[in-house]
Structures are given as structure tokens and as C-alpha cells.
């Protein structure tokens, strides 16, 4: 069973609808005690890094999420949920993350004056390595993004995919049983559904 962490931030209904489409069994987890019953954990997130981390922590989910990952169970962070996997976020000041993927969340570099932030819309994933969640995507790897910050891992081997947006921008990370997708699988049509199907069948 996939547990979707409901800590008050994130479009849970659209994620749930996408999981339904791939035949996954899932449940919304509204209390920290329920985390232990999940085989796999999905952490959504929208908005600012600090607000998401504060909500996750004050609602008591931080330690259960860390325990889930430490037990070797699959964990997937989506959008800001991916960013929270980092050691540190720098949006509106430095704030600690979960530290599951050592690295920093920084603003996408504005390499040209014309580069717009946030990045909004479709961009083609460039796969780096062999991430289990990104297998079998086919020729069209376009995914849907809405973000101004990205997680830059300390270890380049943790980068599962990037995109070209005025230069390399990290789109996905993978470190052992911990995965992150900066794009929105629930809005990325075939690519997103394949990612969620791969997570369900891990």
C-alpha cells in the first residue's frame, strides 16, 4: 500500500486520481502513527520549502518519514516534496530539510535576462543513470514543471534526470530507496503515469 502523507499541503486529490489510473492501492495518511503501516510513502508538496517543512514537522510527520526511509522502504517526494529530501533549503533563508539526499535547494540560475522564473510548462527529461522509477518512459520524456528552486545533490550520482532550462536543472533524484521528482507526475500524462506505476510495482 502507498501512503500519501497528508500534512496539510499539496494537491492530494490529483495525486490520488493518478494512482487510481495505474491501479495502485493507496491511502491518505492523516496521522503520524499511520506511517508505519505503509509499504511505500509518497510526500507531495507545493509552495515554499520552509512552509512545507514546518507543516511536516509541526504535524509530527518528520520522524516517522525518516524512520520509513531508514527501514529501507520506498519513499517518493514530488515537487517541493522532492526538495524536502535535501539537507538544506535556501528559499526565504536557510532552513533544514530531511537530509535523505545530501544537498542544497537553490534557485534556478538566471543565465540570461530572458529566462523566466518560475519554470512553468513542459520540458524533456534527460535521464542520468538507471533510476527504477524512470524506466520504460519511451521516446517522449516530456514532463510538467512549476518551480523556481531545485535540489542540487552533493553527489552527482544522486541525479536521476535533469532538464535544460538555461542550463542543467535537476528534475529527479534517486538515492537507494529514496526518490524525488521535481515535476508533477499527476500532470505529466503518460510520463507521469509511468513513474507512478513504476513506484507502485517496485
- The reported pLDDT for the residue numbered 27 is 97
- C-alpha 49/C-alpha 92 separation (Å) is 9
CA 190 to CA 139: how far, in whole Å? 11
Q: Which domains does the chain have, with CATH numbers?
A: 2-200 (3.40.50.880)
Q: CB under 8 Å to 113, separation ≥6 — which residues?
A: none
If one counts every other C-beta atom within 10 angstroms of the C-beta of residue 17, the result is 11
Catalytically active residues, by annotation: 79, 184, 186
The partner residues of 173 in beta bridges, in order of sequence, read 159, 180
Q: How far apart are the first and last CA of the chain?
A: 11
C-alpha to C-alpha distance for 108 and 116, rounded to whole angstroms: 10
In this prediction the pTM is: 0.97
Q: What is the pLDDT of residue 75?
A: 98
What are the per-10-residue average pLDDT scores of the chain (202 residues)? 94 93 97 98 96 97 98 98 98 96 97 94 96 95 98 98 98 98 96 98 96
Q: Which of 149, 180, 145 is nearest to 48 (CA)?
A: 149
Distance between alpha carbon 21 and the CA centroid of its chain, in Å? 19
pLDDT at 10: 79
The pLDDT of residue 11 is: 78
Specify whether the backbone of 131 is left (phi greater than 0), alpha (psi in -120 to 50) or beta.
beta
Report the 10 Å Cβ neighbour count for 70. 10
Q: Which of 2, 1, 88, 13 is nearest to 50 (CA)?
A: 88
Amino acid at each position: 500500500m502507498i501512503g500519501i502523507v497528508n500534512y496539510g499541503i499539496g494537491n492530494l486529490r490529483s495525486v490520488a486520481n493518478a494512482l487510481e489510473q495505474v491501479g495502485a492501492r493507496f491511502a491518505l495518511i492523516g496521522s503520524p502513527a499511520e506511517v508505519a503501516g505503509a509499504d511505500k510513502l509518497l510526500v507531495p508538496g507545493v509552495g515554499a520549502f520552509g512552509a512545507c517543512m514546518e507543516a511536516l514537522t509541526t504535524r509530527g510527520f518528520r520522524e516517522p518519514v525518516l524512520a520509513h526511509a531508514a527501514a529501507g522502504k520506498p519513499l517518493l517526494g514530488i515537487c517541493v516534496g522532492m526538495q524536502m529530501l535535501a539537507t538544506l533549503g535556501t528559499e526565504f533563508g536557510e532552513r533544514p530539510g530531511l537530509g535523505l539526499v545530501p544537498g542544497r535547494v537553490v534557485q534556478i540560475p538566471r543565465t540570461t535576462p530572458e529566462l523566466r522564473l518560475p519554470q512553468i510548462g513542459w520540458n524533456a527529461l534527460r535521464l542520468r543513470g538507471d533510476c527504477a522509477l524512470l524506466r520504460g518512459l519511451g521516446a517522449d520524456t516530456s514532463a510538467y514543471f512549476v518551480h523556481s528552486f531545485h535540489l542540487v545533490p552533493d553527489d552527482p550520482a544522486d541525479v536521476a534526470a535533469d532538464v535544460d532550462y538555461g542550463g542543467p536543472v535537476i528534475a529527479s533524484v534517486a538515492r537507494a530507496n529514496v526518490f524525488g521528482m521535481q515535476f508533477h507526475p499527476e500532470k505529466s500524462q503518460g510520463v507521469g503515469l509511468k513513474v507512478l506505476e513504476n513506484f507502485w510495482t517496485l
